[in-house]
Amino acid sequence: MKSYRKELTYNLPTRRGYINITPEVQRCIDESGIKEGLVLVNAMHITASVFINDDESGLHKDFEIWLEKLAPEKPYNQYNHNGYEDNADGHLKRQIMGREVVAAITEGKLDFGTWEQIFYGEFDGKRPKRVLVKIIGE
């Protein structure tokens, strides 16, 4: 069995946003040479997320509206966590959207349904954050 590890870095200019990272994950699979196995993709920061869904701008706007209703950014004083940083909402949004995805690799490609894509979700941006890609297989 072989393994491969790479860190991807993202630095969104906004507090919140979504990036389709599927092509970068596929490049990692290509670099690894692994044809059959599993890939783990996880956000290495507690105010960021990695998830699988459809790549539709309307859906991403819906995520933003829904998450803001569940964990509004402001007023900052509504959260006990806020103090040194005003990012409690980012922690909660990450909890909802998830930390990581694990996906199958078949014949050297992500084994996905028709519309599935991997996304990085940022909930407290304007600084560099890392995403781990770990691949195991043959």
pLDDT at 138: 98
pLDDT at 84: 81
pLDDT at 20: 98
pTM here?
0.95
pLDDT at 107: 98
Residue environment code for 3-39, b if the CB has 16+ CB neighbours within 10 A, otherwise e: ebeeebebebeebbbbeebbebbbebbeebebeebeb
- Show pLDDT as tens, one digit a residue, over the chain (138 residues): 999 999 999 999 999 999 999 999 999 999 999 999 999 999 999 999 999 999 998 999 999 999 999 999 999 999 999 988 999 999 999 999 999 999 999 999 999 999 999 999 999 999 999 999 999 999
Do 1 and 113 contact (CB within 8 A), yes or no?
no
pLDDT at 72: 98
pLDDT at 83: 86
pLDDT at 106: 98
pLDDT at 55: 96
* Full residue range of the structural domain in which residue 66 is found: 2-137
Q: How many domains in the chain?
A: 1
Residue 11's domain is classified under what CATH number? 2.60.120.460
